[in-house]
Chain A
């Protein structure tokens, strides 16, 4: 109820912004909207659900995720998000949060990771992943991105991610760089962060996962990238596929030092 009231007030504030303000930037209105929702970001509901899912014995093995190693040791959640994607010795892979959670859900709980990866967003265990990502990212709120680049594979993935970022294809010749390669650009009124550098605190990579007001959904970084590729008119990127992880490394390393506001609130 409180959320609805806030939403209406914020919508009115946005609508009242008028011509000149809207022409300048929609960001001001959205920032105001965020401010109003600070105490009531719907992402909180997902965070609470995620924490519960982390601690509850689940899956064929009826085990919790509390021994899951997100890079800082088994069960350590605080600070883990701002150091991902990173290299994991046990899988021999660079993994982002979602692909790492798939590993833990398979090895600890007995779920079939490939099955979950094939499941549509918000359905079945994909809904679990979205809630887990909301909670885990929230446990690093305010911390600065600090993705490691010590391992050769982490550096290789940065290079692969950079190449993926500039890769042009599809019927409209778009790459990630078409929208995110220059500073101060917009699509319609939507500001576009330049992601080849640190775009600042709580912008770009430091603002996902996020609750999307327009769709009423909790989006992980995987889902954000998935929809970017849809709008790029590309074919469908596999969930937790290497191209998505490499892009995470590229954007995350570029933004090292930026404070994370995840789980954020988006239009």
Chain B
């Protein structure tokens, strides 16, 4: 009985091998091979080291044409929300003029940049979004942010009625994945791309009724 079982199992295994040979590597094999290939293909250059290829949960789960399973997406969003850092002293709003400069600036974090310090980084906004009306050179990967605060009824950023949208906007800038697991938007606070003060200035650009965004 034991032997017959073993023989049957061996036959099944052999059949599996034959099928395996005929159809090539499985998707799981290819996943592994692709990761090994990527690890072997890159090297450090300046501030861009190979540790940038180490994926966290969200990066790994959002690395295919298909969205991750609902439960995984929820986990990514929950973790992002749990690690959110709200601004010190509840100070959400800075200077929209500085915010506009940051929005225009698409620099930072490449291997040709000298430092990863937040001072050297832009907020990249216009690369992907319409922001103010005056700047016609804007990208379309993200939605238009023109009239962002106005559309959402923000007449006074300090008014408690504005608190929910002010907080959400901070969260979106700090870690966009808290609200959409596979968002295309960088995690400006979480990934230390921008300082708290820089994010305050971008907040002002989006929400201050005096900002050109809301005219």
Contacts and interface: CB of A to CB of B under 8 A. Distances in A.
Contacts of B215: none
Nearest to B192: A171
Contacts of A234: 42, 48, 52-53
Interface in B44-72: 44-45, 48-50, 52-55, 58-60, 62-65
A55 to B, nearest CB: 33
B161 interface: no
Given A168-B62, A169-B52, 5 more contacts: A19-B136, A167-B34, A168-B59, A173-B191, A179-B141
Contact of B45 (A160, A182, A189, A236): A236
Contact of A152 (B24, B106, B127, B184): B24
Interface in B85-123: 106, 109-112, 116
A235 B111 contact: yes
Interface stretch (B10-18, B25-33, B145-153, B203-211): B25-33
Contacts of B136: 19, 22-23
Nearest to B50: A235
A166 B64 contact: yes
Contacts of A238: 41-43
A169 B42 CA distance: 12
The 3 closest A-B pairs by CB, nearest first: A163-B34, A236-B45, A243-B41
A188 B52 contact: no
Interface residues of A, number: 48
Interface of A: 19, 22-23, 152, 155-156, 159-160, 163-164, 166-175, 177-179, 181-182, 184-190, 192, 196, 229-231, 233-238, 241-244, 246
A99 to B, nearest CB: 12
B53 A169 contact: yes
Given A178-B141, A242-B37, A187 B30 contact: no
A192 to B, nearest CB: 8
Contacts of B111: 230, 235-236
B59 A169 contact: yes
Contacts of B200: none
A188 B109 contact: no
Nearest to A187: B139
Contacts of B192: 171
Contacts of B54: 169
B110 A168 contact: no
Contacts of B41: 237-238, 241-244
A156 B40 CA distance: 17
Contacts of A236: 42-45, 48, 111
